[in-house]
Amino acid sequence: MTRPADSVPSRARPWRRASAALALAAATAAAVATAAPPLRVGCLIQPESIAEVGSSVVGAVETLHVERGDLVRKGQVLATLKADVERASLSIAQARAQSDAEVQAAQSNLDFLRQKQARTEDLVKKNFLSQQVLEQARAEADIAAQKLTQATEQRRILRRELDLAQAQLEVRNIRAPIDGVVAERYVATGERIDQKQMFRIARIDPLRVELIVPASLFGTIQAGTTTEITPDVPGIGAREARVVLVDRIIDAGSNTFRVRASLPNPGGAIPAGARCNSGLVPAARAEPAKAAAGPLRPAAYNAPADDGVRTVLEPRRRAGLQ
């Protein structure tokens, strides 16, 4: 006996209602997860980089131009070492490099000897002088040309010596290698410097933020995302930072891993070294792809015993099939 097509769905309605309930529960859980507040974790604000500044030469401090806490720019002079000898050497090198007397004398001598050579050639053609006199005049002109070349090369050497004297004087100026703030000054005026650090410069724009994140969030934080940083400093509110590095190693002792973020700090309003907390919004972990499936249905449906022993197979998706 053939059963009507609409009798099967009526018996499978409990399963359809169960499938709808499961779908509704999944949607509700996703909505709750989306609305969950960010996870607060502890962090530490540090300078982006620190440079220990010293001198490449031995000397005594003549002048200090900055003090601890001063903002400095890259290339700014921090201190000057005594350089009396270097200044004197530079003055002498400048005077020698600016002198053109030897070159001018060599040029004049060459011009005179070439004119003499021309007159000698003319007299030799008229048989007033011998060939030997002409050869001597030519040799004297060639020697004068070589002397001019030598004088020109000597002037180039003197100019290079001037550059050397300027460089030797320049190394007596201690300059800042980066933009930042003077964190420490280790020397005083008159102190002798010999393989000793003189200043510590800290770059504070941007700042580096180190976050300690529980291992349970590993894989949910990606570089390039943003996070909210709230310094534990009165009067400074939350700021936005960008994640630049996520460690791939978990510390076994604390069961945590580190995340580094870059925090803009124009004007140096946020002090380095302050503690902070961060509001991380973990991203969903990537789930393996699942094949698309229809509503949850049983493979077979057993009819009640009072209707007789009969089995209704799973309704087909194509309408009209039984």
Structure tokens at 34: 């989306």
How far are the Cα atoms of 111, 143, 229 from residue 149, in angstroms, in the given order? 14, 10, 69
Per-residue pLDDT of the chain in tens (322 residues, 90 and over written 9): 444 444 445 554 555 665 555 555 555 555 444 445 667 888 999 999 999 999 999 999 999 999 999 999 999 999 999 999 999 999 999 998 888 888 889 999 989 999 988 998 888 888 888 889 889 989 999 999 999 999 899 999 999 999 999 999 999 999 999 999 999 999 999 999 888 899 999 999 999 999 999 998 898 888 999 999 999 999 898 999 999 999 999 999 999 999 999 999 998 889 999 999 988 777 655 454 454 445 545 444 444 444 443 444 444 444 444 4
What is the sign, positive or negative, of the torsion defined by CA atoms of 5, 11, 14, 19?
Answer: negative
Residues 6+ apart with CB under 8 A from 257: 213, 215, 218, 246, 247, 248, 249, 250, 251
pLDDT digits over 243-281, tens only?
999 999 999 999 999 999 999 999 888 999 999 998 877
In 3-state terms, the chain is what percent helix, strand and coil (to 5)?
35, 30, 35
Per-residue pLDDT, 209 = 95
Q: Which residues pair with 263 in a beta bridge?
A: 207
pLDDT digits over 127-183, tens only?
888 889 889 989 999 999 999 999 899 999 999 999 999 999 999 999 999 999 999
How far are the Cα atoms of 78, 200, 204 from residue 174, in angstroms, in the given order? 5, 12, 21
Q: Which residues pair with 300 in a beta bridge?
A: 313
Q: Are 262 and 242 in contact (CB under 8 A)?
A: yes
How far are the Cα atoms of 15, 250, 305 from residue 297, in angstroms, in the given order? 6, 43, 21
> What is the pTM (predicted TM-score) of this model?
0.64
